Structure 1
Amino acid sequence: MALFFFLIFGFCTGPGLLESSPKVRLVRGPHRCEGRVEVERNGEWGTVCDDGWNMKDAEVVCRELGCGAAKGTPSGNLYKPLADEKQKIFIQDVNCNGTEDELIECDRVEDVFDCSHSEDAGAMCDKSPPKVRLVRGPHRCEGRVEVERNGEWGTVCDNGWNMKDVEVVCRELGCGAAKGTPSGNLYKPLADEKQKIFIQDINCNGTEDELIECDQVEDVFDCSHSEDAGAICEKSSPKVRLVRGPHRCEGRVEVERNGEWGTVCDDSWNMKDAEVVCRELGCGAAKGTPSESPPKVRLVRGPHRCEGRVEVERNGEWGTVCDNSWNMKDVEVVCRELGCGAAKGTPSGNLYKPLADEKQKIFIQDVNCSGTEDKLIECDQVEDVFDCSHSEDAGAMCEKGQPDI
């Protein structure tokens, strides 16, 4: 059984834009990181028999394509239309250890026998984040085009740049229809002279899901930032929103269907789901998955919302916290729950005037956090407060959070 030792495959070894086209692809799936597995030989694409196909093999495919983690090994027949009967099956009995960077490095059999397209292999990977962005425009769907390679962002020379290329950029970013190919110089400030120009002569047919799939030249010559490419897409309206929170990037999750907004049940809701919501809304990193939007803690009477006397909420009423056992680990949790910066101190709540009214209740004492909790309510605490007065109210000092606007 001969192996593919005579084939020369120019695989990508990193997560950035490909320096040579991969010799594996996933087709007919919902995005480029899921579908029926195909490999290339001498310009021809063939399928992979699923004999011996497993998660370790899928891990290598996902890595080679610059996708996320391997999620499954579905049958290739799930992805319609099915492979044409005339299409060849190139390999079978693939045996990867899961650490290879390219499928060509894995043991496999080239002399395929007793296998049909009903046994085509499939792979499911996490969809990779876009490797393209539009900067300095009025919104995320318009601006100067930049592409990512090995963690560095560079511009695109506008040689050959046209509407088909913009259509792909708009699709990859989840924006609306392509509207124009403006000069990147319209978007100020201009690209720094030290920033590299990564690609030129892009040639998309307009149907690709990602710019990385288009023909392109990476040896850029005779091009300057005065020729940077730009793109205008219709600004897409998010189908998700966060409501009743302190700002647009925090709150109760609602989704839109046929013009009507509804909520999302929190069964199985986790940080991965929150990450997608934050990305769709153009917010920053996901910070938590609270079951109710507003925090159950606040800092009052301080110079900003990230410093002051600590108050907690119970049944719509706000009460203070006795400072018995109150320490920096407890403050760390308060700062995290409020979306503030690092914990800086545990001042007396009496520093913040006016003092708590004598009629205001003291809700908890003897708080004992490990410092890793997301909310103060998750920490051990005593709710039957005794022998404590407002002269012992707890305070917290965090780094001032970034303004919401």
Structure 2
Amino acid sequence: MAYEACPHSLGGWAPVQLVGTPGRCAGRVEVFYQGVWGTVCDDLWDLSAANIICRQLECGRAISAPGEAHFGEGSGKILLDNVHCRGHEQHLEQCSHAGWFSHNCGHQEDASVICSGDWPELRLVGGSGRCSGRVEVFHQGAWGTVCDDLWDLNEAEVVCRQLGCGQAVSALGKAHFGPGSGDIFLDNLQCAGVERHLGQCAHSGWSEHNCGHHEDASVICSGDWPELQLVGGSGRCSGRVEVLHQGAWGTVCDDLWDLNEAKVVCRQLGCGQAISSPGGAYFGPGSGDIFLDNLQCSGVERHLGQCAHSGWWEHNCGHHEDASVICSGTRSLSGRHFW
């Protein structure tokens, strides 16, 4: 099928844009023709066509060519259908197509493109380091949060990958690391989990949400865990559990504390097997902050940061409830042996 040439003045080509994402290099394909912006149907849509869009926008190479209104449905005219490109074309309208305004589609079939360039900056706030915390996105000169609707490990995987923080360990909602302030930028994010950047995922649109900051989404990645120490025992492998957070050492409450949590502490410290998980400030009460309460581990985690808890500083304890651990890597305590 021969393509139709664009009747633009001075022989110009129809401009294209990508709409519905945090950046200019991913989104729903829209083409400007005869004074209006319109969409492209996903029939025959593939990476060859997507590559041409990315090349035309100077956005690198095409990573994906999703259909079915992946970045939301457009409105107005559907300008092109059955677009078939060989890959060498410099502009979309050089590809064969059904003719301008000729289609058998609805906007639920709008074509999209994800290119390799241009993604929003991310950070994680309120955790123990740069690889855990509340998800915040930089948009139009300000940092804002992400709502936890539909938030799961797929989205967390993308965040961890984008930040170079290893694998996603947990995808937390309900402002697990504390509520943010300012704008809530994104809601209903849906990632496949293989995307390299959060901007490759579908969402409701910038600032389109039905959330409050009590629903801010968070992530814990494998690349960053709170530093631990055991204090008051006979060596580094027994004592009161203390966690380094925001530059200070604090304790852990003994609510729900048992051998599962102790196993994780011993593993993280390279101290062998967990022998005992005493509570009640067994090695003496700490001072300063009580950072964690209601820790719940399965016992197989590599780091304490992989376990669920009430949130930083969220507790109903006193230091007389500080949690402790005795690992097999320490030999003696008051003349007793633990192996």
Normalising by the smaller structure, the TM-score range is 0.3 to 0.5
Query: What TM-score do you get using the length of structure 2 for normalisation?
Result: 0.40
Query: What TM-score do you get using the length of structure 1 for normalisation?
Result: 0.34
Which structure has more relative contact order (CA 8 Å, sep 6+)? It is 2
